[in-house]
Structure 1
């Protein structure tokens, strides 16, 4: 059967087909408006498989050009401060003023990292304050920490001593020679707070006890006041002793207070009242002064008050002891015995 005959037969069977179109529409509804494009004869379409396709036929897309940033590489490293040449220069410089470089760094290793310029500036500043080479050698040997203090930090210390502690200008060198560590302390965090504390408990002339300025209030001064209160003295009595004898702050609790107090109460059998009246007792050597003189007094059967026992020279002590042994000396329990019983 021909296509035309088949079309007529379908029109008879399916009357809804259009009669002017011998072929049924091959596209869904609403798609018949788009014209069918004929395939160009010279165009060849690529064939595709079921695998993932990578369009290799297309030229690669060029990458955008990144602007070139100027090189910011760091400069070549500087030689370390403890290089061989710098180390040798510092050693030669310090030895030229009479200081043992290796002894200094043993006690204060940061000197290794200090620049030669800073070391010279510190030494030159101290020399400008009229310290002789011999004095500088002694000061820096006693306290090598001073060498790592900037010269700009030394001037506030001298100003503080002159204006706030009221040290006389003529005594300034003497103060530093007696306590070189003053030059290694900070005015704001150590020297001034200690000054205010000492003044607050009644020590008005701190200039006579400048060595106390290097002490820590929390770690040294207050614990010593607390110790005397624990052994039986009132706060008022304790403060009175420290005000009358401020060097009491300098002594160690374990190596001084405890040992001497134990000997005073156990071996000597004396009353704490004598310590309150004569706190200088702790300033004398236990082995070289206190024990020998007490033992001699025990052998001779005499009892000296603490000032007569300890303050006098050896010659004067022997002389007083001889006088007391050759005369009638009131016994300790006698009403005639007093602090000046042998003060002759």
Structure 2
């Protein structure tokens, strides 16, 4: 078979390549010069099962792996995905059915995801390629019917958190939704990125951390209800150092953090420390929202205004005015 004929068959509609990917189709693997013909000699690592076995020693290879994997590699390349860059992170790609992969690609792209969006999703979560359509459909149904994500927002939800696609509804998504609702987060559709998180491994340890440093259970759940993003922060790299700085260096009351848990969302080195030090130098003490949430220009203007006038005491009604001032930004 001549090169032209082979290439035509590779990119024909018989291969069920989504229309949205036609502009991204590439005839060969990115490591192989495009000047080579279809049957030209290519590097042996391209389709050799022995090399695949070397890269993924724990993966059991099926019979005729060379042929089947070559077809999958060519198909994925045709839609702009470098299969070899995904193998080590997700070796199941080696043994996955090509028909199942095609069905998954077609199902997701039929929901109006662009080629670029799909490639990004696979890059973030390669397990998508080996998830069957029969397992994906319940996820979209759950998001729409139980979480109440509108049809026009489905793309945004999945683009933000592609891992949702590979989660089991009964074992992962629904239990997590129930947990969030149990602590008072009723509008779960605004926090869908949390649904793919583990309650036992991620949520509970963070709740326990805040209780261990002095917050009551009621205050802790109130903080997470007010700012669910707290569930996403590392205890060691985020919560702990910021809490220590707040208590030791800033010497402030935990009640302020309870009322403004967004404190943990700001950079310790680039926002919290510099602004706190400037306030100390000026002899000013701002409430947390005014200290951190305002823009640099607004913060500087407020700082100069307070320095040139009398600074309100913490017992003054003006002390809590920082929250009102934020609305002006």
Smaller-chain TM-score bracket: 0.7 to 0.9
Structure 1 segment 94-105 matched on structure 2, within 5 A: 94-105=76-87
Partner of 1:255 in structure 2?
A: 237
Partner of 1:156: 138
Determine the structure 1 residue equivalent to 2:251. 269
Distance 1:235 1:170, change over 3 A: same
Q: Which has more radius of gyration?
A: 1
1:27-47 Cα deviation digits (max 9, x unpaired): xxxxxxxxxxxxxxxxxxxxx
For 2:290, which of 289, 308, 318 is the aligned residue?
A: 308
**Equivalences for 1:120-139 in 2 at 5 Å?**
120-139=102-121
State TM-score, norm by structure 1.
0.73
When structure 1 is superposed on structure 2, of 227-236 and 159-168 the one drifting more is: 227-236
- Number of equivalent positions: 265
- State how 1:104-183 maps to structure 2 within 5 Å: 104-183=86-165
2:168 counterpart residue number? 186
Distance 1:268 1:81, change over 3 A: farther
| Structure 1 segment 210-221 matched on structure 2, within 5 A | 210-221=192-203
Distance of 1:205 and 1:343 partners within structure 2: 25
Structure 1 stretch displaced more, 246-255 or 81-90: 81-90
The answer to whether residue 302 in structure 2 is matched with residue 338 in structure 1 is no
Q: Give 2:32's aligned residue.
A: none
Provide the residue aligned with 1:60 in structure 2.
none
Aligned counterpart, 1:65: none
Aligned to 1:46: none
Aligned partners of 1:185 and 1:214 also within 8 Å: yes
Distance 1:162 1:341, change over 3 A: closer
What TM-score do the two structures reach when normalised by structure 2? 0.76
Is 1:208 the equivalent of 2:190? yes
Unaligned runs of 5+ in 2: 1-60
CA distance in 2, matches of 1:196, 1:342: 32
Structure 1 residue aligned with 2:225: 243
Tell whether the 8 Å contact from 2:239 to 2:264 is kept in structure 1 after alignment. yes
Deviation larger for 257-266 or 94-103: 94-103
Task: Report which stretch shifted further, 162-171 or 94-103.
Answer: 94-103
Question: Aligned-pair RMSD on alpha carbons?
Answer: 1.8
From 206, 211, 225, give the equivalent of 1:224: 206
Match of 1:283 among 265, 268, 273: 265
Q: How does 1:29-108 map to 2 (within 5 A)?
A: 80=62, 83-108=65-90
Could you tell me which residue of structure 1 aligns to residue 281 of structure 2? Answer: 299
**Kept in 2: contact 1:194–1:217 (CA 8 A):** yes
Q: Distance in 2 between matches of 1:263 and 1:167?
A: 39
Alignment match, 2:35: none
| Unmatched runs of 5 consecutive residues or more in structure 1 | 1-78
CA distance in 2 between counterparts of 1:218 and 1:134 reads 34
Quick one: distance in 2 between partners of 1:188 and 1:147?
Answer: 21
Which of the pair is proportionally richer in helix? 2
- 1:326 aligned to 2:308? yes
Please report how far the alpha carbon of residue 328 of structure 1 lies from its aligned counterpart in structure 2 after TM superposition. Answer: 2.2
